[in-house]
Amino acid sequence: MRKPAASALAVPQLLNKLGRGAPVSMKAVGGGCIARASIATFADGLTVFVKTKQGSPGMFEREAEGLAALAEADAIRVPAVLAVGEGVLVLEAIQSAPKCAGFAELFGEQFASLHRHQGSFFGFYSDNFIGATEQLNSRVGNGDCWPDFFFERRLLYQVKLAARNGYGHELQQLLLSGQRQIMELLAASDELPSILHGDLWGGNYLADEQGRPCLIDPAVYFGHREADLAMTRLFGGFEAGFYRAYNEAWPLAPGHEERLHLYQLYHLLNHLNLFGMSYYGQCRQILQRYA
């Protein structure tokens, strides 16, 4: 007889710790391409959202830490973490509803409020994940130099990973050739470390039961808020009201448009490493601007 997968065994055991016994049903739902997602229902009618994934030790523990950090900012809703174990994460089930009136403006205002929650260094308390890729968050030096952190822990790490994944060394060579100009651009904005969602695109937020914004699937760290906003613009962008409300609440520093592509490059490199060669040309084109 085939041995059940470890995550399949762990789910009922972990759910038992919620004090309601074993769930009466587990229904698979759409939940992205990284983990499996299910809705567990208990005899008393409570439902919870369950994510499972094999072979990525610590992934859900790190996600739980990120959700807790975002919740601490008390600026925008995130699902409550109910339980976490190896390969299993149990979250509050958010019932999605149509967006409330002025959703985009509310979202932009709340996102600016989130970024006002600041840390003492660039990075995070532990390494975590962006998608299925490890995201390095240890501080560089004293942790007070954003260009060093973003270049070393974000761009250089990803181009080295791309080389290991079989995409050659051209991207790394281009990055190193353009290092001086890249560092100068990143240094042109001097801000304290803001807490970042880290991977905010259209699939990583939803409208909750009241139609208000709720963040999901973070890759949290403390960094420059321009990096968070750049990701929102990578795949079509958000509604204009989102950016207008954000800018009214907290305008970006001059020159942010010049830095936009650098911040998007991190995510494009990650997509190259996760999903393949179709992202290579975009990465190469951006890096050639600085080489």
Q: Tell me the per-residue pLDDT of 170-205, one tens digit each, with 9 for 90 and over.
A: 999 999 999 999 999 999 999 999 999 999 999 999
Q: Could you give the number of structural domains in the chain?
A: 2
Residue 251 lies in a domain: yes
Statement to judge: residues 108 and 206 lie in one domain: yes
Residue 98 lies in a domain: no
Residue 5: pLDDT band with limits 50, 70, 90: very low
3-state secondary structure of 94: coil
Q: What is the pLDDT of residues 105-152, one digit of tens each?
A: 999 999 999 999 999 999 999 999 999 999 999 999 999 999 999 999
Residue 1 lies in a domain: no
Statement to judge: residues 31 and 167 lie in one domain: no
Looking at residue 31, what is its pLDDT? Answer: 61
Statement to judge: residues 131 and 260 lie in one domain: yes
Contacts (Cβ under 8 Å, ≥6 apart) of 2: none
Statement to judge: residues 193 and 273 lie in one domain: yes
Boundaries of domain holding 81: 6-92
Distance between CA atoms of residues 48 and 54, nearest Å: 20
Statement to judge: residues 149 and 261 lie in one domain: yes
Statement to judge: residues 180 and 251 lie in one domain: yes
pTM here is 0.94
**Among 6-10, 188-192, 287-291, where is mean pLDDT lowest?**
6-10
The 10 Å Cβ neighbour count of residue 288 is 12
Distance between CA atoms of residues 21 and 23, nearest Å: 7
| Mean of the per-residue pLDDT values of the chain | 93
Residue 20: pLDDT band with limits 50, 70, 90: confident
* Bridge partner list, 77: 214
Is residue 1 predicted with pLDDT exceeding 60? no
Statement to judge: residues 212 and 280 lie in one domain: yes
Distance between CA atoms of residues 112 and 245, nearest Å: 9
- What's the CATH number where 142 sits? 3.90.1200.10
Domain-terminating residue out of 60, 92, 124? 92
What does the DSSP 8-state code read for residue 26?
Answer: E
Statement to judge: residues 253 and 185 lie in one domain: yes
Distance between CA atoms of residues 258 and 254, nearest Å: 9
Statement to judge: residues 169 and 269 lie in one domain: yes
Domain-terminating residue out of 72, 92, 112? 92
Active site residues: 199
Statement to judge: residues 162 and 86 lie in one domain: no
Statement to judge: residues 75 and 44 lie in one domain: yes
Contact 162, 171 (CB under 8 A): yes
* Bridge partner list, 205: 215
**Helix, strand and coil percent figures for the chain, each rounded to 5:** 45, 15, 35
- What's the CATH number where 78 sits? 3.30.200.20
Statement to judge: residues 24 and 45 lie in one domain: yes
Contacts 24+ apart (CB under 8 A), 268-271: 268/234, 269/155, 269/158, 269/159, 269/161, 269/162, 269/171, 270/130, 270/131, 270/133, 270/158
Contact 137, 126 (CB under 8 A): yes
Q: What is the pLDDT of residues 235-279, one digit of tens each?
A: 999 999 999 999 999 999 999 999 999 999 999 999 999 999 999
